[in-house]
Structure 1
Amino acid sequence: MRLFSFAVTWLIAFNCFAAQTDEKAPAKRIVALAPHIVEMLYEIGAGDNIVGTLAHADYPESAKDIPRIGDYKGVNFEQLLALKPDLVIAWQGGNNQQDIEKIKSLGIDIAFSSPTKIENVAKELRLFGQLTGYEVNAEKQARAFESALNQLKQDYQNKQTLSVFYQLWDAPLTTVRSDTWLSKQVEICGGKTIFDATKTPYPQVSIEAVIAQKPQVIVVPMSGETSKDVSEFWHGWVDIPAVKHKQFIITNADLVHRFTPRMLSGISDMCEKMDAARKIYQ
């Protein structure tokens, strides 16, 4: 009986030791393959662990000093291997799939960022916290994001609904379908994008199609370095209420097009501008 008890005790101890040794140590040398991944790693305090990234990772300011090993077209694998990362965080659906498969084949640990809706930002923060050992700070940031998002939804949930044309691009004229995460941003502000039955989530449309929908507001995202007069594109199309009343809302694409906590700043700005537009239609 004593021998049996000893065997059981030894087995339990061995399994606990095996579980501990199987746990991966927090990543210390990370290659982040998207700007939003870089930004969120900094958000939880793990920015100094990033040893490489791709072009356009420009926030916070210190992120500009991270070595670049490629761009949206692909990764330079010679540079990647020279960095000796213990973890690569890739953007599922945003990075080249062939690059992802090659990273796997090289035996480099890889994790994925795969946000598809606004609420996923909190989930991603928690994931990155687990990967880096910054769970406590990640949880704090995730809860702050969830609280701010819920407050923003409450602030605008009973506002007059505005019809919105979201001008993602002008050549060719491209918009968003109503079930996309960009349309959901508009919905938080009490707006409704005007195309909901298209085959693709980001369809090309004609000006005639926009005229037929008569949007009250036209939302145009722009990066911080872009400057142009949006009204010139729509000059003369006064059958569109947004054009007639000059209701063009410029949003910061660097905020609203990245899955990071700063997204809420961009949404909040859009909501305030849409609230001002409501006064025109009351």
Structure 2
Amino acid sequence: MVFVALALYGREGASAFCVQDDLEKEVCLTETAKRIVALSPGASELLFSAGAGDSVVAVVAHSDYPPAAKKLPSVGNHTRIDLEALLAFKPDLVITWATGNPKRQIELLQELGLPLFAIEPRTFDGVSSAIERLSILAGTETEGFAKAKHFRSGIAELSEQYLNTEPISVFYQVWEQPLMTINSEHLIGKVLQLCGGENVFGNMPRLVPRISAEAVIQADPQVIITASADGVRNDQLDHWKNYSGLSAVKKNNLFFVPASPISRPTPRLLEASVLICEQLDAARDRL
């Protein structure tokens, strides 16, 4: 469901641009935002996708896409915000990461009366919806809604293509030390499902649980995937080669995907999804 609303109301008849954020809080602006600060790399990327790049005045560390985002001033990182630097930009809208930014610092921004819009897309449609809502707040609906439509269409095409594909078991490695994965509620877990992958840890209660090597061996996935810079093969999965009995190792089904597109809830998740679907197709051919 897309939580998008554009209304005209407010004090003394002022026009208000109102949307609901991912914490189900209504955010209203009397004018479209022209000085936006983004407090996560994903938020920066979503703003540019929404056509609001020209209105972004500051970002946080690792905001590296699109290239224009790298040229913007930083106000710290997503876990430690430089509030003094942020306030110096006099933002008329701050895009927060619902579960990723420091709670107390976000509360301080609220107390100061800054308009805050929290994002945390957990579904494919949530990504499209976030783009649409941001475009409403920035007054860039034409570009934003077009980008959202393109993403929805691409995901729908993949869903149709892999609707009846042969299931294949997958372990997605988020981190090597400590060993971590994702469950089926995580957006990456939904990518695996989209491509016909069965997440061997899909039923874990936490979104990003810690697990043991023994648990992976017992699950015996047919495919192991992890992320790396630009999807370049590195040594992150080499330790699994010590377990020659693992199905994924026996069939050489150890794959890498570019880290940013698969880990950020942005339109580039589509290209990451296409790649993972292709990798799972290659793995099926080796069984």
Scaled by the length of structure 2, what TM-score is found?
A: 0.88
Alignment of 1:63-74 (within 5 A): 63-74=69-80
Q: Is the 8 A contact 1:230 1:248 kept in 2?
A: no
Structure 1 segments (4+ residues) deviating >4 Å:
none
- Alpha-carbon offset, residue 118 of structure 1: 2.2
- Alpha-carbon offset, residue 57 of structure 1: 0.4
> Percent identical across equivalent pairs?
35
Task: Return 5+ residue gaps in structure 1 as ranges.
Answer: 1-14
Give, as a single letter, the amino acid of the residue that structure 2 aligns with 1:244.
K
Aligned to 2:282: 276
- Alpha-carbon offset, residue 21 of structure 1: 4.6
**Which of structures 1 and 2 has the bigger CA Rg?**
1
Cα pair distance change 1:249/1:16, threshold 3 Å: closer
- Alpha-carbon offset, residue 198 of structure 1: 2.8
Q: Is the 8 A contact 1:231 1:243 kept in 2?
A: no
Aligned to 2:39: 33
Counterpart CA distance in 2 for 1:278 and 1:69 is 46
Aligned to 1:44: 50
- 1:88 aligned onto 2:88: no
Report Cα offsets for 1:3-23 as digits up to 9, x if no partner. Answer: xxxxxxxxxxxx899333555
- Counterpart secondary structure, 1:246: coil
- Alpha-carbon offset, residue 37 of structure 1: 1.4
Aligned to 1:166: 172
- Alpha-carbon offset, residue 201 of structure 1: 2.4
In proportion to residue count, which structure has more helix?
1
1:120 to 126, 132, 143: 126
2:103 to 97, 107, 117: 97
Scaled by the length of structure 1, what TM-score is found?
A: 0.89
Higher relative contact order, structure no. (Cα contacts within 8 Å, ≥ 6 residues apart)? 2
- 1:110 aligned onto 2:145: no
Aligned to 2:202: 196
- Stretch deviating more after TM superposition (189-198 or 156-165): 189-198
Q: Is the 8 A contact 2:60 2:75 kept in 1?
A: yes
Alignment of 1:229-248 (within 5 A): 229-248=235-254
- Counterpart secondary structure, 2:224: strand
Q: Is the 8 A contact 1:44 1:138 kept in 2?
A: yes
- Alpha-carbon offset, residue 235 of structure 1: 2.1
TM-align CA RMSD? 1.8
Aligned to 2:23: none
Aligned residues: 267
